Amino acid sequence: MMKKVMLVTGGGDCPGLNAVIRSFVKRAHQENNYEVVGSIQSFNGILREPTEIKLLTSETVSGIHVLGGTIIGTTNKGGPFNWPVKKYDGTWETVDRSAEMIRKCQLLGIDAVVNIGGDGSQRISLKLFEQGLPIIGIPKTIDNDLAATDYTFGFQTAVQIATEALDKLVTTAASHNRLLIMEVMGRDGGWIALNCAIAGGAEACLIPEIPYDIQSVMKMLNERMKGGKGFAVIVIAEGAKPKDGTVSFEKRDEIGYENIKLSGAAVRLREELKNAGCDLDIRETVLGHLQRGGTPVAYDRILATQFGVKGFEMVKNEEFGKMVSYRHPNTISVPLEEAVKTRSISLDDNLIKTARGINICLGD
Ligand code: F6P
């Protein structure tokens, strides 16, 4: 009997999403009795009337492993539990359409759902599973902050992009005798920042895990300038905060967008350095969504391809309520309860020791 599987990609786009879709479809088609479809823009496609669901054929997925983004679109707004509805007075409220969506899946003959996303998406997977939907998760995020997997695809691409940007900024810093600050993504984790700072040889790296003391950064800069180096580069994670301070963020009034939009860490650091007496010319660069765009590096394509194949095996074996995970060197499955947990860099992580070992100032 034919079986139908629906893929969704949720949250921020991430290099490697298309490689997962391709490998899942390729593996499913080896079985001859599986049809794979994709709901456009996460669950919003199936919730819309008329539904926006795309058949994923061999032709549709051919060659897409090299493409950034996701061919079935993504969103971090809406979804089954927070569907925005405009009220008569013009304001918005969100409604829970999860039961209706699960019924719709049954009516459309969907036997399994695969939710490719980060912790927010897997929280949705868990709630839907608890309500009876046969669902599995596949972990995705450039932030690499999911506790239940060694790595997520997209992360190595983000680190590569950030490192190449840092290399370029070093040449400008050195030519102009400036201090250049580069802000990278990562939410509450410093994974992208610390990896890129080590790869690119930054003088300081400020991460959410170590609230920084501006005097410690000033001390490093003064010593470096005394030593004759007239320039420096600092990598700061978007979620970094000063000692006794908070993260820097902006309010977004996009309907249905519920995340905290981290923003302004680099600009704030420049001000703090100036106030502390830094007399270098300072420029800041915010890498932003450049870190999520474009073609995935080979590592991410390989990891994503492994995740797609493993995801299909889990669907075939009806291992619902679980997420694919990478525990070197294997792909395994873990309960969704574990999948929703995030992780920061532990202070005794070898990356922290390595950074200290090459005199990168961590602001403490
Ligand atoms: O989780 C991925 C990520 O890129 C974070 O690093 C960042 O904080 C956030 O998404 C940005 O989200 P948006 O694309 O909604 O601005």
What digits encode the pLDDT tens for the residues 7-43? 999 999 999 999 999 999 999 999 999 999 999 999 9
From the CA of 292, give the closest atom in ligand 1. 4
Cβ partners under 8 Å of residue 12, min gap 6: 74, 76, 118, 141, 142, 292
**Residue 205, SS3 per DSSP:** strand
What average pLDDT does range 256-266 have in this prediction?
90
- CB atoms inside a 10 Å sphere around CB 271: 11
pLDDT of residue 158: 98
Q: Tell whether ligand 1 has an atom less than 6 A from the beta carbon of residue 161.
A: no
Place 252 in a pLDDT band, splitting at 50, 70 and 90: confident
Selected from 3.40.50.450, 2.170.190.11, 3.20.20.10, 3.40.50.300, the CATH number assigned to the domain covering 3-153+296-339 reads 3.40.50.450
Range list for CATH 3.40.50.450 in the chain: 3-153+296-339
Q: Tell whether ligand 1 has an atom less than 6 A from the beta carbon of residue 143.
A: yes
Place 298 in a pLDDT band, splitting at 50, 70 and 90: very high
What digits encode the pLDDT tens for the residues 150-182? 999 999 999 999 999 999 999 999 999 999 999
Rounded to 5 degrees, φ, ψ at 38 are -125, 135
CA distance 114 to 333: 13
pLDDT of residue 312: 98
Question: Residue holding tokens 């525990």?
Answer: 327
Cβ partners under 8 Å of residue 230, min gap 6: 177
- CB atoms inside a 10 Å sphere around CB 337: 15
What average pLDDT does range 63-69 have in this prediction?
98
Q: Tell whether ligand 1 has an atom less than 6 A from the beta carbon of residue 141.
A: yes
From ligand 1's centre to the CA of 276, what distance in Å? 31
From ligand 1's centre to the CA of 248, what distance in Å? 14
- CB atoms inside a 10 Å sphere around CB 301: 23
Task: Please determine, for residue 254, whether its predicted confidence score (pLDDT) is greater than 90.
Answer: no
Question: Residue holding tokens 């006794």?
Answer: 244
Secondary structure E strands in the chain: 3-9, 34-39, 53-55, 83-86, 92-95, 112-117, 135-139, 178-184, 204-206, 232-237, 249-250, 261-262, 281-286, 322-327, 330-335
Name the percent of the chain in helix, strand, coil, to the closest 5: 40, 20, 40
Percent of the chain with pLDDT over 90: 97
Place 257 in a pLDDT band, splitting at 50, 70 and 90: confident
From ligand 1's centre to the CA of 12, what distance in Å? 6
Residue nearest to atom 10 of ligand 1 (CA): 12
Q: Tell whether ligand 1 has an atom less than 6 A from the beta carbon of residue 292.
A: yes
143 is annotated as an active-site residue:
yes
DSSP secondary structure letter of residue 297: P
**Residue 93, SS3 per DSSP:** strand
Peptide bond into 139 cis (omega under 30): no
Q: Report whether 96 contacts 80 (CB < 8 A).
A: yes
Q: Tell whether ligand 1 has an atom less than 6 A from the beta carbon of residue 76.
A: yes
Place 256 in a pLDDT band, splitting at 50, 70 and 90: confident
pLDDT of residue 113: 98
Rounded to 5 degrees, φ, ψ at 153 are -70, 155
From ligand 1's centre to the CA of 77, what distance in Å? 13
Cβ partners under 8 Å of residue 329, min gap 6: none
The CATH architecture that domain 156-292 belongs to is 3-Layer(aba) Sandwich (3.40)
Place 134 in a pLDDT band, splitting at 50, 70 and 90: very high
CA distance 320 to 332: 13
Query: Which among 70, 159, 259 is the best mutation to test ligand 1's pocket, defined by most ligand atoms within 8 Å of the CB?
Result: 259
CA distance 264 to 270: 10
Percent of the chain with pLDDT over 70: 100
What average pLDDT does range 199-203 have in this prediction?
98
From the CA of 262, give the closest atom in ligand 1. 8
Place 334 in a pLDDT band, splitting at 50, 70 and 90: very high
* Weakest-pLDDT range from 87-91, 175-179, 319-323: 87-91
From the CA of 142, give the closest atom in ligand 1. 2
> By C-alpha distance, which of 22, 123, 39 is closest to 336?
123
Range list for CATH 3.40.50.460 in the chain: 156-292
Task: Please determine, for residue 258, whether its predicted confidence score (pLDDT) is greater than 90.
Answer: no
pLDDT of residue 337: 98
From ligand 1's centre to the CA of 193, what distance in Å? 14
Task: Find the catalytic residue in 13, 111, 119, 143.
Answer: 143
Average pLDDT, the chain: 97
**Residue 13, SS3 per DSSP:** coil
Q: Report whether 253 contacts 202 (CB < 8 A).
A: no
